[in-house]
Structure formats: C-alpha cells, structure tokens
Structure 1
C-alpha cells in the first residue's frame, strides 16, 4: 500500500527548502518541455543534482585541501596529546587546547571543516524526499497535468463515494486521508491519489469512472512521461515494486526495483574508495577507526534506505554519487600538484598576523582598564587631618541663614551642650 503526503510539508527548516526545490524543479521541467519537448521528473532530478554539486565544488575542493593538511599536521597533534597524557587538571587542559588550536591555525585547518558539506547536504536530502513523495504539491507544471481529469471527476455525481471505494480497491492511501471539505482540498486529495497510482491503477480508475475512459487514458500517457524513468515509476518504492512484481510474476520489474538500491550502494562504495585517506593514522587511532566505520556504514545505509523511499530519491542519491566520483577524480589530479609547504607557509603568516592583532587588542583593553581605574590616595597624616578640621570649622562659621550647613551647626551645638 502506497502512502503519500496530502499537502506541502510545513516544517520551519525543511519546508521552505522543499518549496525552493519545487520552484527549481518546475523551471527545469518547463525548460526541458519548451526546448526539447521532454516531460520527465527523473531527468529534472538528475539536472537538479548536477546543479547542486556544481555549486558545491569550491566547498568540496576546500574540504579536500583541509583533509590533506590534516594528514600532515597529525604528528604534531599526537605530540601535544602525548605531552599532556594523564593530566586532567584545568590548567593542563587549557594549555593543551591552546597548543592544539595553534597547530590548527598554523596549518589553516578548521576542526569542523569536514562537517560543513554534511550540514548542507542533509537538509537538501530531507527536502528532496518531501518533493519526490508528492511532486504535484511542489511542481505546479506537473499538477496541471492532473487538473483536467480532476475537474471531470469532481463533476461526476457521487464522486466522493466512488473515490473512497477506488482507493480501497487500488490500495492507495493519502497519508492524512481524503479531504472533501473544500474544493481545493478535494482537488488536492484526488491528485495525490492519482500521483501514487501504479500502472494497473489507471485501468481500475476506468472501471470506476466508465464515462471518463478517454481522458483517463490520455492523462495516464502523460503521467508515464512524467514519473517513469527507464521503465520505473519514481513515485513508488523498490519494496512495493518487488511485492507487485512478485504477485504479477513480473521479474523484469523486480530486477529493476532491486537495481536502484544496489546501484546506490555501489556508487557510494566507489565514491569512498576515491576519497583521500589518512596515511599517517594507525589502526589504534580513534579518528581513523571512526572514519573506517562510517565509510562502511554509509553505503549500507543507502542500500537499505533506498528500499523504503521513493525511487526518485534513490535516483537523486545515485546521481549525486556519480557526480561526486567525477569530481573526485578531477580533485585528486589537482591535489597531486598541490604544494602543501607553500600553503602551510601562507597559513603560518596568517596565523602570525592574527596573533599580532589579538595582542594589540589585548593591550588596548589593558590600557583602557588602567585609565578607568580610580587612583587610591595615601592616608592623611595627623597634622594634615587637624588642618582639614580647622579649615572645615572656619568654613562652618560663614554658613548662611537657613542653609543645611547652619542646621548642621545647630545640631552640633545642641550635642555639645548636652554632653556637658
């Protein structure tokens, strides 16, 4: 049973990214249609993937350069770790962090440099999942293909009951159920059902709406150009395709369904093999072990994930891996001619300038603190104190009538009389 999302995803992060992908896919779709007469979402996904990875080339190259520099600086990092091994006091930990940061600055490497690309790719992957799962909700040109048929269906008397029976027969369910409250929600619900139909579902639809056979057939032909890529419906999951193929004894469909996750796995493995590895890290190095585990798990993750997500998302995954393989071959060639010693010298100069700036700034703070600090005067001698009292007494005699000083004198005289 196929489940799809009724409306656009409303998440605050993934939602806007999914809508942006939908706009881009719509423009790609119109470009292919107007220039080449091609109406195919699978090709749009491949073109979109190509554009994304072309835009990420500078970031990929920078990451690879950081990886090379990281290999070169590992001996110095290990020396620092060995130097402070077993020291858990705060002073030692702070000193170790300072020395480690100095090495990073020396080589121009960021500790989080390898995470940036992942932080960009993951939201796009999740947003692409939303788009592929319900293309008509995001790509308006695709929605227009279904609209004429939906208008005809809604004009049929008692269409709500017919649609409800049809989804039971075709075993297609919108994730949030059918919604016939308004004209817009009704139209969206029917489009969602039609988008998720397997090939035999269109024949069942003709049986449900016998008077609409012609427009159902023409819409089914258009949809075949939209959703089918190399004979596979990109809206279906490989798992559901295998089940349908087994029940219908369609072994070609089973092979095609299994090919998607297998190709995704193989392209991921090839991509990892082409990635530069740290030659200086031993088997006991924690980071090396983590990287080895990740390189083993990621292809397996894509293998199992591609079974349960729409084929369109697997197509995005495969296209991305293949493009990365080509990029990596080019970057590896460039890395061979990269003079790391020159880059390290440039980074040392940058680090030196940063230290100088930090030193100037810290001196400015220290000087400002000195200027704003109130000077503490030395205590007065007994002679100076008597002189000050005498001066105050002389000044008190000149107090004006009604002033605070006169009142203070009156209080003083009153106290002196009482003390006698």
Structure 2
C-alpha cells in the first residue's frame, strides 16, 4: 500500500473525527504544509518535530494574519460606535412592542452603514479562523498521519510486533501503563468493534505508538521480546525527532510528577504568553475593557481564566501540544504589537473615512448609491418617526378603550351607589332592557 493511502487511513481512524469533506480538505492541505516543512528540515540534517511545529505555527499565523487584521479593525470600529449604540439601546430599553423593536433594528443598521461596517464584520474573521485552528491541533496531535518519514519509524515497529494482530496485546499494555485515556481516544485500537479493517487497526496502532514516552518504549520491548531490536531502534529515532531543548515532546509534564523540572517550562510559558496576549488585546479594545456591561465583565474573567486554562492544558497533554500553544501565543503577541502600533497611528476620522470608502466601493459594484451621512441621518429620522407614530397610535387606542370602559361603567352604575349590590342589579336590568329594545 502506498504512503498516501496510509496517510488517508490514519486520518480517518485517528482520535478526532472527520466532520465533512471541507474539514478533510483543510486538514489535508495543512498536512501537506507540515510535511514540506519537516522534509525541508530533514534535507538540511535537522529533522526535528519541535522545530517543525514552531515553523509550521509561524507559517500558519502569517496565513491567518489578514483575518486577525480584520478582527482588530472591526473591534476599533465597535469602539467608535459604542456611544451611539448605547444611546440607541437606552432609547428603546423598556419598549418591547414590535414597532419599537423594528425601529431599533433599523437605527442600528443605519448606524453600521454610517461607519461603513456591518453587524457580521467582527464574527466573520473568527469563523474563518476556527476550522483552521482546529485543523492545526489535529495535525500536531497526529503528525505520523501527515509526515510519511515519521510514519515509517512507527510502521517498522508495527510490522515487527505482528501488525493488526497485536492490537489486544497493546490494549493490555496500555491499560497497565496508565494509557487508558489515549486508548479511549483511539477506540481501544479497534478491539471493541468488528467494524474496523486490519489496515485501520494498524493505523490506530501507529497513532498509539506515536504517543509513547521513552519509559513506555522500554516497557514495550519487554512485552514483545522478539521485536526488541526494532523497538529499540524506533525508540531511539522517536527520542531524537521528539527531543527539543532537553524536553521529549511525546511526554506530558504531568507524567514527570509535581516536583519542578524542565518540563514545567512549557506550561509556565504558555500561561505567561496567554496572559500577555490577553492583556494586549484588552488594551486594543479599551472601550470594552472599561465598560461596566456584561461583555466587559466577561472579558475581564476570560483574561484571568485563559492563562490558567493554558497552564493546565499544557501540563496535562503531551509537550508537543504545549510547544504549539506557546509558539502560537508568542506569534500572536508579536502580531498584536504590530496591529496596536498600526491602528494607534490612524485617527478616528481617517478610520471611518477608509471604512466608508471600502463600503461604497462594494456598493458601486452592485449598482447601489453611495452611503453618506445625510442619507443615514434621514433613515434614522424616518425610523424615529415610524416608531413615534406607532407609539401614538397605541396610546390613542388605549385612550379610546378607556373612554368606552368609563362610559359603559357610568351607564350601568347610574342611579345607584357604585360597587353596591343595587348597582350590580341595576347593571343587569339595564343590560336586559337594552337587549330587549334591540330585539323589537
């Protein structure tokens, strides 16, 4: 079976599910980038997964930079719009009738047009980033699926221990070596179902072997003594490509115990970088950070929680994932510094003018009239007048109903003390008299 077929099988039988052809395409393209980087490093004699992860992360962050730029620009526009948005929200605060809600929506839409932006401009960059970011994790967690030369290292062990027939023995080995969570992710190497082919089981085994740390490799040799020489060679190769500044990237810091050691560097750096990144983003969105509304409070909470989550995440998972997390946060810090410097050199007026110019260029392509402040103001005034007219009609109907109710009450309560038994009897009598007259 050729290497490309093996890679596809490994993708389809790995811990994370494939969620459609678009996702599969994204992962495959990014996998080719990762393979190109690793092969280039091998070509110059420094084939190393840690270095490949760092370069891969830098490349991907450069590719995603336009979406980060758009998100930052959208955040800046939201800051400029914030006072007017709050004024509109305050004006319609306690009005829940349909006309008022429609008027509020119309005013908000006009406000976005006034600044040359849209309600979805801040969400779109995030939506574009999310599938790519998830795909990055997918690749980092399962490098053999995308780098054939790394796959070969573990394939040699697979063949030496008997291929797919060794699955149950490996499950027992994993259970005895605290690898239950990994086995669960890998569907217990296909031993709990008859739906897996031998090729799929073989690739699940390779996924499993890739996650073993040096001490577990030593234990594996005692389980398969007939393949001990192949296992020792693979363990040596795995240690070489996974070694990064004295840290084995297949080893989780948590497995090294609670006594401070070199493996703690990655979780600590991850938390520090995440804190700095959050701080820089908060400074870039100062209007939201200074607010007292729910979104501001949520941002403050996230700034505290995210660094702690980063530390725990990188402490628990293999150091390769933590290295990617650190590299990604480090590049994001540099990008945020550049973006903050760029946007600090643009005045609010210039920002709005550029945004309007881009919006009008798009409208011109669609044959629409350009947006100007007067047309927007007219729309806002029209929305206000519509809301006021609707409110006046509602109040008028209430007033008319009140008059009718009063007239009816006065009619039925005439010649009697209001609320008395006589008044109620009189109401019944008058009601009957009125109906009799109508029927004659």
Alignment of 1:126-205 (within 5 A): 126-154=134-162, 163=170, 166-167=173-174, 169-172=176-179, 174=183, 175-179=186-190, 184-185=199-200, 187-205=202-220
Distance (whole Å) between structure 2 residues aligned to residue 170 and residue 83 of structure 1: 64
Distance (whole Å) between structure 2 residues aligned to residue 352 and residue 22 of structure 1: 39
Question: Quick check: 2:278–2:303 contact (8 Å CA) kept in 1?
Answer: yes
In the alignment, structure 2 segments of 5+ residues that lack a partner are 1-9, 371-440
Distance (whole Å) between structure 2 residues aligned to residue 161 and residue 314 of structure 1: 30
Question: Quick check: 2:12–2:18 contact (8 Å CA) kept in 1?
Answer: no
In the alignment, structure 1 segments of 5+ residues that lack a partner are 361-420
Distance (whole Å) between structure 2 residues aligned to residue 349 and residue 132 of structure 1: 41
Distance (whole Å) between structure 2 residues aligned to residue 296 and residue 280 of structure 1: 16
Give the direction of change, closer, same or farther, for the CA distance of 1:320–1:281 in structure 2 (3 Å limit): closer
Secondary structure of the 1:43 match is helix
Question: Quick check: 1:145–1:219 contact (8 Å CA) kept in 2?
Answer: yes
Distance (whole Å) between structure 1 residues aligned to residue 355 and residue 200 of structure 2: 59
Distance (whole Å) between structure 2 residues aligned to residue 277 and residue 58 of structure 1: 18
Distance (whole Å) between structure 2 residues aligned to residue 198 and residue 176 of structure 1: 20
- CA deviation profile, 1:365-402 (whole Å, cap 9, x unmatched): xxxxxxxxxxxxxxxxxxxxxxxxxxxxxxxxxxxxxx
Secondary structure of the 2:93 match is coil
Q: CA deviation at 1:271?
A: 0.9
Distance (whole Å) between structure 2 residues aligned to residue 28 and residue 350 of structure 1: 37
Give the direction of change, closer, same or farther, for the CA distance of 1:257–1:15 in structure 2 (3 Å limit): farther
Distance (whole Å) between structure 2 residues aligned to residue 290 and residue 200 of structure 1: 43
Note if 1:25 corresponds to 2:34.
yes
Question: Quick check: 2:273–2:330 contact (8 Å CA) kept in 1?
Answer: yes
Secondary structure of the 2:261 match is helix
Note if 1:121 corresponds to 2:129.
yes
Determine the structure 1 residue equivalent to 2:265. 259
Q: CA deviation at 1:189?
A: 4.5
Give the direction of change, closer, same or farther, for the CA distance of 1:255–1:117 in structure 2 (3 Å limit): farther
Note if 1:106 corresponds to 2:136.
no
Determine the structure 2 residue equivalent to 1:297. 305
Distance (whole Å) between structure 2 residues aligned to residue 260 and residue 281 of structure 1: 29
Q: CA deviation at 1:145?
A: 1.6
Note if 1:217 corresponds to 2:232.
yes
Give the direction of change, closer, same or farther, for the CA distance of 1:27–1:108 in structure 2 (3 Å limit): same
Distance (whole Å) between structure 2 residues aligned to residue 17 and residue 237 of structure 1: 28
Alignment of 1:356-395 (within 5 A): none
Determine the structure 2 residue equivalent to 1:79. 87
Distance (whole Å) between structure 2 residues aligned to residue 67 and residue 106 of structure 1: 16
Aligned mate of 2:246, from 203, 207, 231: 231
Give the direction of change, closer, same or farther, for the CA distance of 1:125–1:232 in structure 2 (3 Å limit): farther
Distance (whole Å) between structure 2 residues aligned to residue 100 and residue 27 of structure 1: 48
Question: Quick check: 2:289–2:300 contact (8 Å CA) kept in 1?
Answer: no
Determine the structure 2 residue equivalent to 1:59. 67
- What is the TM-score normalised by the length of structure 2? 0.68
Give the direction of change, closer, same or farther, for the CA distance of 1:125–1:237 in structure 2 (3 Å limit): farther
Distance (whole Å) between structure 2 residues aligned to residue 198 and residue 321 of structure 1: 26
Q: CA RMSD in A?
A: 3.4
Note if 1:89 corresponds to 2:100.
no
Determine the structure 2 residue equivalent to 1:409. none
Q: CA deviation at 1:287?
A: 3.1
Note if 1:287 corresponds to 2:295.
yes
- What is the TM-score normalised by the length of structure 1? 0.71
Question: Quick check: 2:64–2:129 contact (8 Å CA) kept in 1?
Answer: no
Note if 1:11 corresponds to 2:27.
no
Q: How many residues align?
A: 346
